[in-house]
Structure formats: structure tokens, C-alpha cells
Amino acid sequence: METSFTRRETVHVIAGLMLAVFLAGLDQTIVATSLSTMARDLDGWRLMPWVVSAYLVSSTTTTPIYGRLSDLYGRRPVMLVSLGLFVGASVLCALSQTMPQLIAARVVQGLGGGGLRAVAQAVMADIIPPRERGRYQGYFASMFAISSIVGPALGGFFAEYLSWHWIFWINVPLGFAALVLSNRNLKRLPVPTRKPTIDWAGAGLILVSVTPLLIGVSRVEAAGTWLAIDVLGPIAAGVVFGIALVMRERVAPEPMIPLRLFANWTFAVTSVIAFLMYMLMMAMTILIAIAYQLAAGLSANAAALRVLPLTAGTVLGSFIAGQIVTRTGRYRIFPILGAASGAVLFAAVALVGLGRSLAFDVAATGLIGIGFGFQLSPVMVSVQNALERRDTGIGMSCIIFFRLMGGALGVALFSSVLVGAFNGGVTIVPGFEVLGDNPGLALFHLDEHRQHLTPALLGGLAGVVDDAFRRVFLVAALISALAALGATLLTETPLRGRDTTDGPPGR
């Protein structure tokens, strides 16, 4: 039987969960604008990229593990452990005196961040019936978008006017507030009564399969190719351990990732949609800003402002879709519309280009954001509706995991497409030799070579940049079309209400 919560209790719990999701998302973005300050103060330029990668790898790899543990032990204890790890590691980050200390603390912080995301979604599925979840999924999506906007600006403010240490100190009061808001009422959630059996071998295989995959993918941009040994080696190791993981989960009595989930058609389809959508969303958030700078010649601050319609559109689209899903109970049409419109809009951006018309930039990127939002809330609602209660935690965690993996792969994929186009195009421009030994990568910082560039050479290089971004947006249109095709395979199951017992109908 489901535990009934009053409206006031629900608001308190959801507020705490939203704050937890905000914290987890904020710490992926807030350090970006202060990395150079950290590296200078801690004399760790060589290790600087690992400040971001350490958090990304540890939070991603542990997300499905936390979801399964919350199914076995209950949501509240796992949420408390996640918050405790996150806040405690934030203190260690703030007190770090060397770059290795900071990276180690970021690993622990990521262990907590992975749990915050996973358990927050599972708790919402416990207390909100599927018919009403669209509205709340819109709120959660807003937290993601707000953290993406606030993070870089807040990190830059702290680094310039206070100290980068405040990037981590701010997590202490926010984490405590999240704990207070949600803790008391989470005690009322049902706790599994049977003694759990932990699939430790499965948990270990998740870590050793996903970690090298993420490390290999994260090295693509630096290597400039997928064929480098330090890219292929970790990816190959991850694939081997991934196969071992599947073999283990087939025979485990209580698998960490139950393979029966993938027999659920809705879960399988939404996993693909979530993966493809986050490939695009994470990559475009970064590459659209770069396009404004390289192709349109805007400053970093101006480019950041031009990306706001994309983020604001994502929030608006998720909110609109969530409200309509709650009122009508229909969700299938939204990911189809969102992905299909994205395919058309990316093709239009490839044809017209960015930075030539403010009206076109705002309209195109804003509508692309709305398309992303149309996929965010309804996809989560559909998979929550399709899962049995015993699989809610692990199922939602797996969807989040596929999102994060898709985001990491998307950034690497589109970066390699861009760099490859730069490398292939620049060598046919007469006089490109003045750019040095790596002329393709030199296009990212042409200002350092501008005194050696003739107007004719600058014009030729501008054409290379335009062609490269046209290729990037055409690839984005293709992936968005694939997501739309996948969304058409989604079946629409009536959303359950408060009076419905465990187990969705029609499966």
C-alpha cells in the first residue's frame, strides 16, 4: 500500500529533493569558470582537467548502484548517506591544499552527487502518482537548467571576488537545508522488510566497466581522434568489463542491474531516447557557445548570453509538457514533437548559421530548447509509470545513468566532428602553415596568431570554421531524427492515479 502524504508534506519533500538535484547539477558546472584559478593557486596545471572529470566519473558510475541500494534498503538511509558524503566532501574540497587532494575530494563528492540524483527521482516516484508527475518533472528539469546557468556565473564570481574555496563552502548550508526539508517526512516512506542480498560483484563490475569508458571518451577531444591508444585502450577495457557485467547480472540472485528491466518495452525505448537526447543537449550547450565565438566573433560573455534562449527554452518546454501530461494523461506525442522539431531546426541552423541574425538565433535555439524540454519530463513520466515498485529506484537510476553517458559521449562525438572538420579543411587554405604544427586546433585560438594572418587567409579560415559547424549541426539533425524515430516506438500506457496499486497495467 502507498503511503499518503498531505500537500504540505509533499511540498516539503519535493523542495528538499529539488535542492538536492540542484546541488548535484551545480557541482558539474560551477567549477568550470574557476579551473584556472584553482590550478594557479594549487600549482596543478597538468591535473586541472581531472577536477571536472573526477566528479563526472564517480557520480555517473555510482548512479545505478545507489538506485538499487535504495530499492533494497529504502530511500531515506541512502539519501542521508548521499547528502552526508556530498557535504563532507565539499568541506574537504574547500580545505584542499594541493591538486591531488582536491581531485580525491572531488571523487568522494561525486559519490554523493550520484546518489542525490538517483534517489531524488525514486522518492518522487514513491510519493507522486504517475498522472501528476509531469508537473513535478518540469520542476526538476528547471533545477537542471538553473544550475547550468547559475553554476558558471557563480563560480566566476567566487573566484574573482572571494575565493574558489567558496565554490565548495556554499554546499554546506544548502546541503543541510536539503536534509532538513526532506528528512522528517521521508521517515514515512515504506522500508523493505526482507533481508537484502547485495550483488557486490555486479557493483564492482559497474565501476570497472563504466570508469574506463568515461575516461576514454573524455580523452577524445584532447587526442583529436578516436583512434589514439589512450582513447581506444580504456574504451576496449570498458567494453570487456561491460560484457562481464551482463554475464554476471544474468545469474545473480539479486542483480545490481536487473536485466528484466530491458524486457520492459517502455524502459528500453525511453533509455534510447534519453541517451540520444542528452547527447544533443549537453553537446549543443557547449558547441553553440563555441560557434558564437569562432564563427560569429562574439566575446565569451556575449556568447554566454546568446545561449540563454536554449536553456530557457528547455525549462519552458519541460514545464509546458509537464502541465499538459498532468491534465491529459498523454505523453507519447511530446518526445516525438520535440525530437522531430529538433531535426528540422538543426538543419535550418546548418543552412543559415549562427551569429548572423539575433532574431534567428533566439528563435532557433529557443525552439531547440523547447524540443529538449518536451523530451525531458514526458520520458521520465513514461518510464516511472511502466516500472514496478520494486524496480523504481534502479529503473530511474538507469535512465539517469544513460542520460549522463549520452552527455559524455555527445560532447566527445561532436568535439571530434568539429576538430576533424577543422583539420581536414584548414590544410587546403593557402598559407595555413603560419598556424603551427597543429593548425586545426589553432582555429580555437586564432587571436594568438592574428598578427601573422593576411585578410585572404582570415577569409579562408572563416570558411573552414563555417563549414565545420555546418557539419556539426547536420550530424545533430541526424541524431535528433533518430531520436524522433525511436520516440514513435513508445507505447502510451494510461497513467496510474493515487488509487492504483503496484504494477502498471497493460504490460
The answer for residues whose C-beta is within 8 angstroms of residue 442's C-beta and 6 or more apart is 426, 435, 436, 448, 449
Exposed (0-12), middle (13-18) or buried (19+): which is 390, by Cβ within 10 Å?
middle
Range of the domain at 360: 261-507
CA–CA separation, 349 and 483 (whole Å): 18
Q: Into how many domains does the chain fold?
A: 3
What's the pTM value of the predicted model, to 2 decimals? 0.75
The three cell numbers locating residue 118: 538517483
- Mean of the pLDDT values across residues 244-269? 83
Confidence (pLDDT) at 254: 75
Say whether both 488 and 396 belong to one domain: yes
The cell 601573422 sits on which residue? 452
pLDDT 10s digits, 485-495: 988 988 877 66
- Mean of the pLDDT values across residues 290-309? 77
Say whether both 477 and 437 belong to one domain: yes
CATH of the domain at 141: 1.20.1250.20
DSSP state of 496: P
- Mean of the pLDDT values across residues 336-353? 93
Residue 265 has pLDDT above 60, yes or no: yes
Say whether both 241 and 333 belong to one domain: no
- Mean of the pLDDT values across residues 242-266? 83
DSSP string, 19-66: HHHHHHHHHHHTTGGGHHHHHHHHT-TTTTTHHHHHHHHHHHHHHHHH
Say whether both 166 and 204 belong to one domain: no
Confidence (pLDDT) at 193: 65
* 441-446-447-448 Cα dihedral, nearest 10 degrees: 50
Say whether both 183 and 315 belong to one domain: no
Domain stop point among 195, 214, 237: 195
pLDDT 10s digits, 157-173: 776 677 888 888 888 88
Confidence (pLDDT) at 338: 92
Confidence (pLDDT) at 92: 92
Say whether both 166 and 226 belong to one domain: no
pLDDT 10s digits, 128-166: 776 666 667 667 777 776 776 677 667 767 766 778 888
Q: What angle do CA 227, 232, 238 make, to 5 degrees?
A: 155
